[in-house]
Amino acid sequence: MKKRKILWLIPSIAFIILFYIFPLVNTIILSFINTEEGSFTGFENYISIISDKKNIFAIFNNLTWLVSFLPIIIIISLFISIIIYNSKYSVLIKTVLILPISISSVTCGIIWKLIYSYQPKGSPQVGTLNFILSLINREYIPHAWLYETPLNNFAIMVIGVWIWTGLCVVIFFLGLNNIPKDYIDSASIEGANNINIVFKILIPLLKKEILAVSIFLFIYIFNLFDLIYITTGGKLNTEVIAMRMYKEMFMGYNFGRASVLAVFIFVMIFPIFLVKFLNLWKR
Amino acid sequence: MLKKVILIIFLILVINVNYVFLKSNQEEENEVTFLTMAGGFELDIMEKMLEPFEERTGIDVILESSGDVDSLIVTRVESGNPPDVANISSYGLIRKFEERNKVIDMSKFLNIEKLENEFSKIWIDLGTINNKLVAVFWKSVIKGLIWYNPKSLSKYKINIPSTWDELINISRNLKNKGFTPWTMGLEDGSWSGWCGTDWIEDILLRKYGPKKYVEWYQGKLKFSSEEVRDSWLEWGKIAADDDMQYGGRRYSICTDLITTVSPLFDSPPNAFFHHQALFLLNGLKEYYPDFKSIEDYNFFKFPIINEKYKDVIQVSADSLIMFNDSPQARELVKYMISPEAQSYWVSFSNALPPNKKVPLDVYNDELMKKGYKILSESKYIVFDASDLMPPQLYDAFHSAVINYMDNPKRLNQILFELDNIQSKAY
C-alpha cells in the first residue's frame, strides 16, 4: 500500500527534478564554464563578475530597493489596512488598490513614464506629476523624474509601491480579520488607546502576514527586471542584477557569466525559502 | 492503481512519439522559417515582398516577427531550434554565432562573382568573418545627416554649412540671438544613447579618417586617446551646452527621437537642426503625413571637418544569416538579396538597397534618391562603429553617452571606464 502511495508521487517528483532541480544544477555547472571555449574555468567567471563595477553597482541598487522599497511598502500597506479595517468602504478601497496588479508590469511602466513625462520649464507640462506640481507652485522647476540620479531609482520604486500595495493591503486585511475582536475590546476596556492597540496587539499578531509579504517582496526585488527595462532601460545608475544577467546572456551571449549572476540571485533568495520551509516542516 | 499509472505513462509516450513524427514530417515540407525584426508597416511590406517568391517557387515562407530578435535568436539557437533564416542587426551576435559554428557559410551556394558585381565591397567584407560569408545585407541606411526645415532656414537667412566650423558658428550665432539651434532625442528604452554614439562616430570619422575609425572599433584605439576624446569634446560644443539644444540636456536625454523632431516645425522654430540617419524619413512620413520631402523637411550631409576626409559616409544595415542549410533557405536568401526583392522594399519603405542593380526610378522619395547619391559619391563607406563593437562595449558606450550628457564634467572618468571595458571586451 505504501509503495503504491509513493508511485503517485513519481509524476510530481519527476516534474520537480526536470523543471527545477535540473535547470538549477545546470546553471551552477554553466557558471564554471568558459562559454567561448566550452571548457571548465574554475572561479574565473565569478572573479570577472565581481571585478566588474557594473555588477557591483547593480547589486548595490538591489540592496537599495531592499532597504527602501520593502519597508516603505509594508508600512504603507499596514497603515492603509488598519485605517480601512472598520470602514464600510473597505471592499471598494481594496478593489481600487489591487487594480494595478491586474495590469502587466510593462503597461504599468508605460503609464508611469507618461505620468513622469518631462517638458522644459516654460512649455506645457504633459506629465501628470509635473503638471500638478506646476499648478501648485508657479515657480516650480519641472523634474525629469526618471532621468535624475539618484531620484530616478526612487521614482521607479514608487511604481513598484503602486503595483504591489493593493495585494499587501489585502493580505494584511485578511490577517486583521483573523484577530479575535475580543482582544481589541479587552484592551480598550483596560484603557489602551488606539496607538497602543495598533503597536501592541494588531502588528504583533500580524507577524506571520508581515513575514509572508516580506518574503514575497524580497523575491520580487531580486527578480526585478521588467519595470527597469521599460522605464529607464537601466540607464543612469538604475541597473539591477537581473538586468545585468539579461545583458550578459542575450547581448554578450555569455552563458557562463550570466549563470554566475543567476546563481547569485539564487543564493540571495534560497536562505529565505529555507527558513520558510523549515518553519512549515516544524509545524 | 498501478495499471492506471502505467496507462498514463504510455499515453504520454504516445503523444511524444506522435509529436516527433509530425515534426519530422513537417520538416520534409516545402517551407522555410524566417525570423525578422521587421514589425508594423515594415512587416506588411515584407509579407507583400515575399508573395512573388512564394508563388514562383511554391516555397511557403513561415514569417516570424519579433521586436526583440536578439534575445529570441540566442535562446532558439541554444535550444537547438533556430529559424532557417534570420534577419538581425547586431553584428556582435553574428560574430558570436560564427565563433560557435552556428551559422552557414553562404559562399557555398551564392555566386561570389555575381555578388561582387551587385554589391559594394564593404557589404561582402562585413559579411565575411574568418573567411566565411556568414551574412548578406538586404537593407541599409546612411547616417550622419543633418535634418532641417527649409522654410525656417530661408526665413532666417541661414545658409547650408559646408564645414563643421561653419555649422558651429551658425549654431552659436543662433544661440546668441536667443534661438535654440539644435534638437536631440536620445531616449530609446534600453537602447537609449545610440543617437549620441552616432554623433561621436561621425565626428571621429570626418576629423581623423577611416583608419583611426577602424582602429577604434577594433579595440586598437582607446576611448581616452586624443582622437576619441577630442571627438567627444567637439560633440560637447552642442551636447554639453543646455542653450544649444531644445529643452536642455535633460530633455534630450529623456525624450525619444521622433518627439524631438517637432521643434523644427514649430512657428517660430524652436530648433533648426536635427542629426539623424536616413530612416528618420519613416518617422516623418508617419507623424507628419501632410508635409512634403524637400519642401517641408530636407537634410544635408554632415559637414566637412578635415578636407582629407570629405568623401566618407557611415552606414548601418540589416543582415540575413542562415542557421539551417536547406534548398528552401538558399532560395530565400538568393531572393532577398536580389534586385527584384530590394526594388520592392525601396519602392514602399525608406531604406537604401545594398544591391547596386536596383534602378533609381523605383525609389519612393526624392530624399531617398538624395541619400543614394551621397552614398554612391562616397569614396569611403564605413559601418556604424558601435554596432561593430563587442556587445558589452556597445552597451557601455550607449550608457556613457547618456552619462556624459547628464554631467559633461565627468568626461575623463567616463572615458576611463570605457577604456576598462574595451580592454576586456576583445
Tell me: the pLDDT tens digits for B277-323?
Answer: 999 998 999 899 999 999 999 999 999 999 999 999 999 998 999 99
Q: Is the pLDDT of residue B27 over 70?
A: no
Written as nine digits, the cell of B302 is 554632415
The reply to whether residue B247 touches residue A119, judged by beta carbons under 8 angstroms, is yes
| Cα B274 from Cα B257, distance rounded (Å) | 9
Test the A interface: residue of B190, B321, B403, B417 with most A CBs within 10 Å: B190
CA atoms within 13 A on the CB side of A168: 28
Using 50, 70 and 90 to split pLDDT, how confident is the model at B89? confident
- Residue whose cell numbers read 540566442: B74
Residue-wise pLDDT tens digits, B172-211: 999 999 999 999 999 988 889 999 999 999 999 999 999 9
The CA distance from A283 to the nearest CA of chain B, in Å, is: 31
* Interacting residues of A240 by C-beta distance below 8 A, sequence separation 6+: A58, A61, A62, A65, A224, A225, A228, A234
* Chain B residues 151-190 within an 8 A CB cutoff of chain A: 188-190
Does the pTM of the predicted model rise above 0.90?
no
Torsion, CA B366, CA B368, CA B374, CA B376, rounded to 10: -110
B354 touches chain A (CB under 8 A): no
| Cα B426 from Cα B416, distance rounded (Å) | 16
Q: Is the pLDDT of residue B19 over 60?
A: no
β-partners of residue A33 are A40
Q: How far is CA B227 from the centre of its chain?
A: 24
How would you classify the pairing of strands B273-276 and B145-148? Answer: antiparallel
Q: What integer pLDDT is reported at residue B266 of this predicted model?
A: 93
Nearest beta carbon to residue A118 from set B251, B392, B402: B251
Residues of chain A under the 70 pLDDT cut: 1-2, 283
* Interacting residues of B343 by C-beta distance below 8 A, sequence separation 6+: B353, B358, B359, B362
Using 50, 70 and 90 to split pLDDT, how confident is the model at B9? low
ipTM of model: 0.82
* Interacting residues of B166 by C-beta distance below 8 A, sequence separation 6+: B303
Q: Is the backbone peptide bond immediately before A150 cis, with ω within 30 degrees of 0?
A: yes
- Percent of chain A's residues with pLDDT above 90: 71
Q: What integer pLDDT is reported at residue A149 of this predicted model?
A: 87
Backbone phi and psi for residue B164, each to the nearest 5 degrees, phi listed first: -60, -40
How many helices, marked H, and strands, marked E, lie in chain A?
A: 15, 2
C-alpha dihedral sign at B136, B142, B144, B147: negative
The CA distance from B424 to the nearest CA of chain A, in Å, is: 10
C-alpha dihedral sign at A136, A140, A141, A146: negative
Torsion, CA A168, CA A170, CA A172, CA A178, rounded to 10: -160
pLDDT averaged over chain B?
91
Residue-wise pLDDT tens digits, B137-148: 988 999 999 999
Centre a 10 Å sphere on the Cβ of residue A277 and count the other Cβ atoms it contains.
11
The reply to whether residue A120 touches residue B247, judged by beta carbons under 8 angstroms, is yes
Written as nine digits, the cell of B253 is 536625454
B353 touches chain A (CB under 8 A): no
Written as nine digits, the cell of B208 is 581623423
How far is CA B13 from each of CA A13, A63, B24, B26, rounded to the nearest angstrom? 18, 47, 17, 20
Let me know if A87 is exposed, middle or buried by CB neighbors in 10 A (0-12, 13-18, 19+): exposed
Using 50, 70 and 90 to split pLDDT, how confident is the model at B106? very high
| Cα B389 from Cα B208, distance rounded (Å) | 19
